[in-house]
Structure 1
Amino acid sequence: MKKIVPFLFAVGLFAQSCGNPPQEMTQSTEQKTYSFLVGSYTENPSHGVYLLEFSPNSFGLKTTVLIDSIQNPSFVIANKTNDMVFTLEEIAIENGGRVMNYSQNGDGRLTPISKANTFGGAPCYLALSPNEDYLVAGNYSGGNLTIYSITDTGVLQHVQTLEHEGSSVNTSRQEAPHVHSTVFDREGKYLLAADLGTDEVRVYRFDRDTPEPLSLKEIIKMEPGDGPRHSVFSPNGEEVIVLQELTGKLNVYSYSAGTLDLTQRLDLLDEDFEGAIGAAEVRYSPDGKFVYASNRGDANTLSVFTKNETGQYQRIQQISSGGIMPRNFNLTSDGKYLLSAHQASNDVVVFERNVETGLLEPTTFKIELNSPIYLFGLN
């Protein structure tokens, strides 16, 4: 199969562009187009999964509909060669939600390969194993996770569903298990499942040579009411950061062979902040030197962290996300820009990033998009 990116420029399903490059940015930035898949919540059949293209010194921002007539494809990823796309329908039907995958057939259009039930309501996260032969879906309202094998022809086959049990202190959000993310480590030997409802990160062994490849190794307890949402490994795989949605904290862990040791706990917001908290996403910079996190609620901010001379993280910037409800964000592969997606203000805005200091600077680039929920970088 050929890659998606070179062909999608010609797809004419639906496109819009917005944002004129500032003169000084045009002069200092090489000609480059960055491409992202965008998952969204849908209000009509014309919405769905988008291709978002960003060219700082050419057309600015442009979107194209790749998959329409789909319900709430809130999470979307591609394989390493970008010739297969995986997404989901964040819905609750008889057998949970649905996952599906598509191939790129040479002209930029996506062709359905297979579709499978998740056996848990409201799937909200997908993870490919490092070998790309297994896919895991985390089901938020179902409180479980489901793993599929991927055949040589790309067909998804259900292998195992693991149920979580329990609750925690926030009775409105933690009345039951809510699996919010599933993340493989670099070697593909362990999977971390963050459960917002039970205040736990469950560490599963992954053994593809067994009929049921996932088995529980241990349970990492968070503080009561934390609500762990997303986890991210450092580029070198030696560190894990868990973002706590309900308290706006970051837990930093050293990591080795499925073992997590807490080293630091950080605040996204100032101590005197008053208002609703809704931490959403955490990511490392491509070089691993900086950590970025978004907070929704009444803050609508992006926070930037780096390590000081003692090896401890410290917050070096807190900046407006440029919109309302920054559900997700991502950095370009070279680390020069950060794109922030806002669910409530229906837009994506661009920040220029200083690759040396890690600091963010707003730009004039902005594009309207219906309920953008997730950004996946293709290049």
Structure 2
Amino acid sequence: MKKIAFVFLCCLVGAASSKAQTSNQYFLFIGTYATEDGPNGIHTYHFDAEAATLRKVQPVTELDNASFLAVNNDHSNLYAVSGSRVNAYTLNPGTGKLSFLNSVPSAGSCYVSAAPDGSTVFAGNYGGGNTEAVRTNADGSFDEASVQLLQHQGSSVNKERQEAPHVHATVLSPDGRYLMVPDLGTDRVYQYELTTTSGEILKPASKPWLSVPKGAGPRHLEFHPNGQYAYLVLELQGAVMALDYREGMLKEKQIISMVDKGFKGRLSGADIHVSPDGKFLYASNRGDANEIAIYSIDKNGKLNRVGRQPVMGKTPRNFAIDPTGRFLLVANQDTNEVIVFRRDETTGLLTSTGQSIAVDKPVCLKFAPVQQGPEEKLVAEAVERFRQAMTDPDSEGLASLASDDLEYVHSSGTVRDKQGFIDEFMKRWTNFSKVDILNQTIKISGDNAIVRHRLVADANNPGYPSKVDIIILMVWRKEGGQWKLLARQAAKIPE
């Protein structure tokens, strides 16, 4: 085999073997509020539902106050609200990369959802007190000429929070025919029917709204998997309302508190989700409680509170149950973290996994499955091999990958032989920790491939800067139908 030479600009790395990720792998998109330092954007992580681990996979997508996100059913697009705009992105299902398409104006939007067929996007405008609907083009971008606004009117008894309409969610019915719109300011859940005409997108249902108790403040709503029940967070009352649902109409059947009788403190219900098996319901309580209320769901859809879980932080504005149903992730807005809890599928109770990530002002969590074609699997395998070598360098593993047919050349011109390669790696890489892989690109030509990673590493060695920006290059060759790693190269990006 012909020798292959590489030039070192700063440091050498090697690799140890690991399986490519093929199942129970998801992207986690995290919407955030801006910080004092400026826009915070959309953060993209990889979530391994076997190990319950999170790692960054893309640079932050810049967007000021990306307070709520939605992913369409085929996971090809992501939509994000940002106060005065609703924004459309393409979503690469193999890498998680988001690419901006376009946006439409809104009026203080706080929620976004997409129709099952991807034809329409709906936004809840808290500041404007209206519901917004806009049709999409074939690529998921907005048809900017088709925006419809439905203005709400009225107020309620809480003069500080309910002085005007404040739309807080836009939730589609399971059959995709109706839109439920909780309005905190008017103590109503508006009920709209999707039309098939070319003009209007929504029209009031035959019963245009459901009223809730005065001062309750309806916020987020979630349907049961069977489509017969729905559950509504009453933010100001700190309670959950259980509802029957049929043909575009909700009917109240139960209100149950999120806290024990005699609780002293500020109530602030926030998010709500039903487990994928339909057996349990979870609701987050901010205010002074900072916990997840846990309810069992009986055969008639009524709730019984079975426990509560402190969120190990402050202000659980949003949370998400992963698609496998085994984990529940909480976004603690005011302690700047996402905490991973394990969910007992028999009791519904939660326990900490010890896994968490630091993210400034996280306020929305959304999952999308990793969809790997041949090229994405190659990238995923390269990432896993690099991470393994990074966290647990092993000279035997490196020796098995460092072929005698390869030359490794330092920037000084010194040639490293096989043992020199191993020694250099073991010496250099132990000085780094906490590596974030930012992005990956790949180029394939016939049976040859070049994979490029970019990452940022913390340096433990005082002789290095505190942050090192690194490019990783890998050369692969397909032999016997399998991709074989030929060589790996790391280079520091000049400041």
TM-score, length-scaled by structure 2: 0.66
- Deviation of residue 219 (structure 1)? 1.3
Amino acid at match of 1:142: G
Cα RMSD for the two superposed structures:
2.0
TM-aligned CA distance change 1:208 to 1:339, over 3 Å: same
- Deviation of residue 103 (structure 1)? 1.4
Aligned partners of 1:31 and 1:83: how far apart in 2? 19
Amino acid at match of 2:65: N
Amino acid at match of 1:82: H
> Pick from 370, 374, 378: which aligns with 2:360?
370
- Deviation of residue 61 (structure 1)? 2.3
If each structure's helix is expressed as a fraction of its own residues, which one has the higher value?
2
- Deviation of residue 33 (structure 1)? 3.6
Checking the alignment, whether the CA contact within 8 Å between 1:146 and 1:161 is kept in structure 2 is yes
Q: Cα deviation per residue 1:112-135 (whole Å; 9 max; x = unaligned)?
A: 2111112x2x20100111211000
Whether 1:49 and 2:23 are equivalent positions in the alignment is no
Please list, as runs of the form range in 1=range in 2, the aligned pairs for 1:219-234 lying within 5 A after superposition.
219-234=209-224
Residue of structure 1 equivalent to 2:172: 184
Residue of structure 2 equivalent to 1:12: none
Amino acid at match of 1:338: L
Aligned partners of 1:265 and 1:212: how far apart in 2? 35
> Pick from 156, 165, 171: which aligns with 2:153?
165
> Matched residue of 2:134: which SS?
strand
Amino acid at match of 1:38: I
Question: Which of structures 1 and 2 has the larger relative contact order (alpha carbons within 8 angstroms, sep 6+)?
Answer: 2
> Pick from 320, 323, 343: which aligns with 2:333?
343
Stretch moving more, 40-49 or 349-358: 40-49
Whether 1:128 and 2:118 are equivalent positions in the alignment is no
Checking the alignment, whether the CA contact within 8 Å between 1:67 and 1:110 is kept in structure 2 is no
TM-aligned CA distance change 1:174 to 1:310, over 3 Å: closer
Aligned partners of 2:27 and 2:97: how far apart in 1? 15
Checking the alignment, whether the CA contact within 8 Å between 2:330 and 2:339 is kept in structure 1 is yes
Aligned partners of 2:154 and 2:99: how far apart in 1? 40
Checking the alignment, whether the CA contact within 8 Å between 1:47 and 1:65 is kept in structure 2 is no
Checking the alignment, whether the CA contact within 8 Å between 1:39 and 1:74 is kept in structure 2 is yes
> Pick from 71, 75, 93: which aligns with 1:78?
71
Aligned partners of 1:310 and 1:231: how far apart in 2? 18
Aligned partners of 2:319 and 2:86: how far apart in 1? 22
Whether 1:35 and 2:22 are equivalent positions in the alignment is no
Aligned partners of 2:209 and 2:70: how far apart in 1? 27
TM-aligned CA distance change 1:256 to 1:60, over 3 Å: same
Residue of structure 1 equivalent to 2:287: 297
> Pick from 67, 92, 100: which aligns with 2:87?
100
Residue of structure 1 equivalent to 2:54: 61
> Matched residue of 2:335: which SS?
coil
Whether 1:154 and 2:140 are equivalent positions in the alignment is yes
Q: Cα deviation per residue 1:246-278 (whole Å; 9 max; x = unaligned)?
A: 011111111110121211111111111011011
Checking the alignment, whether the CA contact within 8 Å between 2:33 and 2:41 is kept in structure 1 is yes
TM-aligned CA distance change 1:74 to 1:66, over 3 Å: farther
Aligned partners of 2:281 and 2:52: how far apart in 1? 29
Aligned partners of 1:327 and 1:63: how far apart in 2? 22
Residue of structure 1 equivalent to 2:251: 261
Residue of structure 2 equivalent to 1:143: 129
TM-aligned CA distance change 1:66 to 1:235, over 3 Å: farther
Residue of structure 1 equivalent to 2:8: none
TM-aligned CA distance change 1:311 to 1:132, over 3 Å: closer
Residue of structure 1 equivalent to 2:465: none
Q: Cα deviation per residue 1:317-350 (whole Å; 9 max; x = unaligned)?
A: 1120111000011111111111011000010111
> Pick from 225, 231, 239: which aligns with 1:241?
231
- Deviation of residue 209 (structure 1)? 2.2
Aligned partners of 1:154 and 1:307: how far apart in 2? 36
Aligned partners of 1:250 and 1:200: how far apart in 2? 14
Please list, as runs of the form range in 1=range in 2, the aligned pairs for 1:107-118 lying within 5 A after superposition.
108-118=96-106
Checking the alignment, whether the CA contact within 8 Å between 2:73 and 2:117 is kept in structure 1 is no
Query: Rg bigger for which structure?
Result: 2
Q: Which runs of 5+ in 1 are unaligned?
A: 1-29, 91-96
Stretch moving more, 247-256 or 43-52: 43-52
Residue of structure 1 equivalent to 2:313: 323
Aligned partners of 2:328 and 2:130: how far apart in 1? 32
TM-aligned CA distance change 1:74 to 1:65, over 3 Å: farther
- Deviation of residue 31 (structure 1)? 8.1
> Matched residue of 1:344: which SS?
helix
Aligned partners of 1:151 and 1:259: how far apart in 2? 30
Runs of 4+ residues deviating >6 angstroms: none
Whether 1:355 and 2:348 are equivalent positions in the alignment is no
Residue of structure 2 equivalent to 1:216: 204
Amino acid at match of 1:133: S
TM-aligned CA distance change 1:233 to 1:85, over 3 Å: same
Amino acid at match of 2:213: E
Residue of structure 1 equivalent to 2:183: 195
Aligned partners of 1:264 and 1:57: how far apart in 2? 37
Aligned partners of 1:82 and 1:310: how far apart in 2? 33
Aligned partners of 2:67 and 2:326: how far apart in 1? 26
> Matched residue of 1:86: which SS?
strand
- Deviation of residue 107 (structure 1)? 5.9
Query: Identity across aligned pairs (percent)?
Result: 35
TM-aligned CA distance change 1:135 to 1:207, over 3 Å: same
Checking the alignment, whether the CA contact within 8 Å between 1:137 and 1:145 is kept in structure 2 is yes
Residue of structure 1 equivalent to 2:82: 89
Q: Which runs of 5+ in 2 are unaligned?
A: 1-21, 370-495
TM-aligned CA distance change 1:73 to 1:265, over 3 Å: same
- Deviation of residue 173 (structure 1)? 0.5
Amino acid at match of 1:139: N
Aligned partners of 1:58 and 1:242: how far apart in 2? 32
Amino acid at match of 1:137: A
TM-aligned CA distance change 1:215 to 1:31, over 3 Å: closer
